[in-house]
A and B are shown apart, each in its own frame.
Chain A
Amino acid sequence: MRHIISVLLENEPGALSRVVGLFSQRQYNIESLTVAATEDPTLSRLTVTTIGNDRVVEQITKQLNKLVDVVKVVDLSEGDHIERELMMIKLKANGQMRAEIKRTCDIFRGQIIDVTPNAYTVQLIGDSSKLDAFIAALGTASIMEVVRSGVSGIARGEKVLSV
Chain B
Amino acid sequence: MELLSGAEMVVRALRDQGVKYIYGYPGGALLHVYDAIFQQEEVQHVLVRHEQAATHMADAYARATNKAGVALVTSGPGATNAVTGIATAYMDSIPMVVITGQVMSYLIGEDAFQETDMLGISRPIVKHNFSVQRPEDIPAIIKKAFYIAESGRPGPVVVDIPKDMTTPTERYPYEFPASVKMRSYNPISRGHSGQIKKAVDMLLAAKRPVIYAGGGVIMGGASEQLIKLAQTLNYPVTNTLMGLGGYPGTDRQSLGMLGMHGSYEANMAMHHADLILAVGARFDDRVTNATDKFCPTARIVHIDIDPASISKTVEVDVPIVGPAGAVLEEMSELVAAAGTTPDAEAIASWWTQIDEWRGRHGGRFRTDDSEMMKPQQVIEMLSKVTNGDAFVCSDVGQHQMYAAQYYKFNKPNRWINSGGLGTMGFGLPAAMGVKMNFPEADVACVTGEGSIQMNIQELSTCKQYDIPVKVINLNNQSLGMVRQWQDMNYESRHSQSYVKALPDFVKLAEAYGHVGMKVEKYSDLEAAMSEAFSLKDRLVFMDIYVDPHEHVYPMQVPRGSMRDMWLSKTERT
* Residue positions of A touching B, CB distance < 8 A: 9-10, 13-14, 17-18, 21, 25, 55, 58-59, 62-63, 65-66, 68-71, 163
Contacts and interface: CB of A to CB of B under 8 A. Distances in A.
**Interface size class for chain B?**
20 to 34
A68 B184 contact: yes
Given A14-B119, A17-B123, A55 B311 contact: yes
Contact of B123 (A21, A55, A66): A21
A70 B124 CA distance: 16
Query: Which 10 A-B residue pairs are closest in the complex by CB-CB distance?
Result: A62-B308, A68-B128, A71-B184, A25-B124, A68-B185, A62-B307, A21-B123, A63-B308, A10-B184, A14-B119
Nearest to B125: A25
B306 interface: yes
B420 to A, nearest CB: 15
Residue in B119, B120, B128, B184 whose Cβ sees the most chain A Cβ within 10 Å: B184
Contacts of B128: 68-69
B540 interface: no
13 contacts: A13-B133, A14-B123, A17-B120, A55-B311, A55-B315, A59-B312, A65-B307, A66-B153, A68-B128, A68-B148, A68-B184, A69-B184, A71-B183
Interface of B: 119-120, 123-124, 127-129, 131, 133, 148, 153, 182-185, 306-308, 311-312, 315
Given A14-B129, A14-B131, A55-B311, A70 B306 contact: no
Contacts of A13: 131, 133
Contact of A21 (B124, B133, B153, B185): B124
A10 B307 CA distance: 21
Contacts of A59: 308, 312
A66 B306 contact: yes
Nearest to B153: A66
A25 B126 CA distance: 13
A22 to B, nearest CB: 8
A18 B123 contact: yes
Contacts of A163: 183
Nearest to A66: B308
B180 to A, nearest CB: 12
A21 B128 CA distance: 13
A126 to B, nearest CB: 33
Contacts of A65: 307-308
Nearest to B148: A68
A35 B183 CA distance: 20
B184 A9 contact: yes
A43 to B, nearest CB: 9
B121 to A, nearest CB: 11
Contacts of A69: 128, 184
A69 B130 CA distance: 11
Contacts of B182: 68
A58 B308 CA distance: 9
B123 A70 contact: no
Nearest to A58: B311
A40 B129 CA distance: 23
A14 B123 CA distance: 9
A62 B123 CA distance: 18
Contacts of A66: 153, 306-308
A21 B119 CA distance: 12
Residue in A10, A63, A68, A70 whose Cβ sees the most chain B Cβ within 10 Å: A68
B246 to A, nearest CB: 24
Contacts of B315: 55
Given A55-B315, A68-B182, 17 more contacts: A13-B131, A13-B133, A14-B119, A17-B120, A18-B123, A25-B124, A55-B311, A59-B308, A62-B307, A65-B307, A66-B153, A68-B127, A68-B184, A68-B185, A69-B128, A71-B183, A71-B184
Contacts of B131: 13-14
B184 A70 contact: yes
A102 B208 CA distance: 73
Contacts of A55: 311, 315
Contacts of A62: 307-308
A21 B354 CA distance: 46
Contacts of A63: 308
B154 to A, nearest CB: 13
B166 to A, nearest CB: 19
A30 to B, nearest CB: 16
A13 B123 CA distance: 13
A10 B183 CA distance: 9
Nearest to B185: A68
A105 to B, nearest CB: 43
A9 B183 CA distance: 10
Nearest to B120: A17
Contacts of A21: 123-124
A152 to B, nearest CB: 21
B372 to A, nearest CB: 45
A35 to B, nearest CB: 16
Contacts of A25: 124
B90 to A, nearest CB: 12
A62 B119 CA distance: 22
Contacts of A58: 311
